[in-house]
């Protein structure tokens, strides 16, 4: 696969044989890109290049008994599954798949409290002011869309991401076989450096699975994971669909389902005062003034309501509800009381509003 600079085809310029300029394929070795100090550091801070549904919990993780090895990046996905990210700057990937499999086996018995502890240490290494286990736990529960009163069970299944400049046929054949016949979740991502003048560009391509097939694969695995977690965990991973006179939402985690129902009720004429009166105290905050910017809204919450000790990630600051000269912000931590709060909200809802669980007939 090649990349081209097509600046020459823009505007009214005459298209010539030089309108498309092929970019020069380079290598990490040629550009003196080091594996840990450059490549790993860049992907650590931009993990969404690999998958926007990954959250880093540790770097150079090596809490293994009887082994002196370290995982480049240890992540957790939205379903609570740990994911090993193994990086190589070589053109063939070396034996990275075997290395990653060893790592996956070693962390397959980690508990949520161990993940929290690892994340707290990672936050400290990155200079976070508050790097206690309590803050780390709260951040992870927010990421997983769970309440503070819920304790997720980490599945034994571990995902693997192999990211390299290229892969040998031995690696791709092994990965395809493991995925197809042994239900592994291994992804191969090719990182290709190109030069454009003095600039160094990076092309990121998902090699295995192909993007066309990955969406279906992800949906199947999400369903299987949710069923397993429901049996093993005290956490509620159920997704909900909000039906209203204007249509139905996609299946949503509970914090987003509550928000969408409140937004729908507010749009239908139910005041925020009515809504907040039937919800648990402090789940809906009112501040004077109209604030659409998240930072300004949080500053107002802290100044007017004295919430300086609150975790701002626990609030839907990006989805404020405006009513007159006031701004309301909803909490996103509902925990095990989600269904009870749905019922309370539906008691004041006009006709046409309904909440159902994913898979339930409409």
pLDDT of res. 222: 56
Q: Could you read off the pLDDT of 115-129 as tens digits, one per residue? A: 999 999 999 999 988
The yes-or-no verdict on residue 233 having pLDDT over 70 is no
Is pLDDT of 285 > 90? yes
* CB contact burial 52-85 (16+ within 10 A = b; e otherwise): ebbbbbbbebebeeeeeeebbbbbbbbbbbbbbb
For residues 115 and 57, the answer to whether their CB atoms sit within 8 Å is yes
pLDDT tens digits for range 304-342:
888 776 778 889 999 999 999 999 999 988 877 889 999
Provide the 10 A C-beta neighbour count for residue 256.
Answer: 19
Query: What fold is seen in the domain 4-232?
Result: Trna Endonuclease; Chain: A, domain 1 (3.40.1350)
Q: Please list, residue by residue across 168-193, b when 16 or more beta carbons sit within 10 angstroms of its beta carbon and e when fewer do.
A: beebbebbeebbeeeebbbbbbbbbb
- pLDDT value for 148: 83
Percent of the chain with pLDDT over 70: 90
Alpha-carbon distances, residue 329 vs 142, 176, 278, 290 (angstroms): 16, 47, 15, 11
Q: Domain segments of the chain: what residues?
A: 4-232, 240-357
pLDDT at residue 360 in the model: 77
Residue 227's pLDDT band (boundaries 50, 70, 90)? low
């Amino acid at each position: 696969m090649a990349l081209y600079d097509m600046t020459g085809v823009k505007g009214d310029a005459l298209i010539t044989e030089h309108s498309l300029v092929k970019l020069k394929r380079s290598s990490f070795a040629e550009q003196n890109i080091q594996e840990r100090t450059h490549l790993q550091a860049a992907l650590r801070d931009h993990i969404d290049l690999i998958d926007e549904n990954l959250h880093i919990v540790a770097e150079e993780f090596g809490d293994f008994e009887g082994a002196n090895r370290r995982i480049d990046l240890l992540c957790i996905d939205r379903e609570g599954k740990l994911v090993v990210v193994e990086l190589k700057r070589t053109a063939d990937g070396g034996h990275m798949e075997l290395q990653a499999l060893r790592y996956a086996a070693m962390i397959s018995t980690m508990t949520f409290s161990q993940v929290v502890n690892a994340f707290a240490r990672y936050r400290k290494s990155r200079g976070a002011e508050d790097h206690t286990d309590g803050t780390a736990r709260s951040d992870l529960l927010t990421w997983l869309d769970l309440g503070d009163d819920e304790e997720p069970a980490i599945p034994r299944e571990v995902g693997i991401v192999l990211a390299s400049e290229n892969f040998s046929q031995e690696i791709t054949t092994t990965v395809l076989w493991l995925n197809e016949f042994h239900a592994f979740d291994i992804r191969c991502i090719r990182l290709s450096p190109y030069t454009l003048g003095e600039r160094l560009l990076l092309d990121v391509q998902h090699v295995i699975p192909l993007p066309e097939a990955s969406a279906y694969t992800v949906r199947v695995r999400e369903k299987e994971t949710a069923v397993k977690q429901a049996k093993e965990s005290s956490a509620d991973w159920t997704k909900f669909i909000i039906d209203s006179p204007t249509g139905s939402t996609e299946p949503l985690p509970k914090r987003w389902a509550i928000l969408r129902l409140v937004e729908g009720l507010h749009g239908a004429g139910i005041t925020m005062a009515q809504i907040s009166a039937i919800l648990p105290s402090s789940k809906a905050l009112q501040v004077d003034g109209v604030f659409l910017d998240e930072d300004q809204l949080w500053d107002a919450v802290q100044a007017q309501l004295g919430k300086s000790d609150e975790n701002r990630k626990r609030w839907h600051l990006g989805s404020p509800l405006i009513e007159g000269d006031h701004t309301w912000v909803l909490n996103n931590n509902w925990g095990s009381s989600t269904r009870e709060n749905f019922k309370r909200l539906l008691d004041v809802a006009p006709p046409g509003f309904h909440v159902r669980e994913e898979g339930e007939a409409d």
